[in-house]
Chain A
Amino acid sequence: GAVVSQHPSRVICKSGTSVKIECRSLDFQATTMFWYRQFPKQSLMLMATSNEGSKATYEQGVEKDKFLINHASLTLSTLTVTSAHPEDSSFYICSATYRDTFSNQPQHFGDGTRLSIL
């Protein structure tokens, strides 16, 4: 159980292109989804927290106009990197969780999207 699907797994595109990444919870309703970025040999950096039906909460230093997040349903969140540039090249990973009585549920991660901007 608790499977999170992320698509696409890899994107290579030209500078200035906007790229959309999808994150789906396949067998549970994800009340909260998270978007992370990871540079080589570094730890995960949380970009934003997304609750279904409400605006995403961005971490300090993350440009909300650059990284558009939509969480329109309990099973789908999207991250759009607008007008991507080479410095946006990174490994983007989503995770999902759901609320339970004890607030103990872990985050379950998608397989990640490797974004390369030429």
Chain B
Amino acid sequence: QKEVEQNSGPLSVPEGAIASLNCTYSDRGSQSFFWYRQYSGKSPELIMSIYSNGDKEDGRFTAQLNKASQYVSLLIRDSQPSDSATYLCAVRGGSNYKLTFGKGTLLTVNP
């Protein structure tokens, strides 16, 4: 059974701080890793993808992948109240394109 684990939170950070979201996965064959943001009542929105070990930066977002530790994280710099949402970690292995989602971490950024 492929599993993706996230701390459900809520994670609360002040505006301007760095929010750190973590995710571990069980399938060592996983090849692609994604972070989605989901606002309450809305569908998920892709914010980052990462495929190789190391860091990948896109604006205020940095994804980090460590395949040896089966660990992927998302850092949000200069957090804004508009970043308040549930962040879903999703992992894909093989070629069937199915994603295994974590249960999500609820992030609250306080003004």
Residues of A at under 8 Å CB distance from B? Answer: 6, 32, 34, 42-44, 46, 49, 91, 93, 97, 99, 102-112
Contacts and interface: CB of A to CB of B under 8 A. Distances in A.
Contacts of B104: 43
A55 to B, nearest CB: 15
Given A43-B104, A107-B99, 18 more contacts: A32-B97, A34-B97, A34-B98, A43-B101, A43-B102, A44-B101, A46-B99, A91-B41, A99-B97, A102-B51, A103-B32, A104-B32, A106-B46, A106-B49, A107-B46, A109-B36, A109-B45, A112-B43
Contacts of A93: 43-44
Dominant secondary structure of chain A at its interface with chain B:
loop
Interface residues on B, range: 20 to 34
Contacts of A99: 97
Nearest to B35: A106
Contact of B98 (A6, A49, A105, A110): A49
18 contacts: A6-B43, A34-B99, A42-B103, A43-B88, A44-B44, A46-B98, A49-B97, A91-B41, A93-B43, A99-B97, A103-B95, A104-B32, A105-B97, A106-B46, A107-B46, A109-B36, A109-B45, A110-B43
Interface of B: 31-32, 34, 36, 41-46, 49, 51, 88, 90, 95-99, 101-104
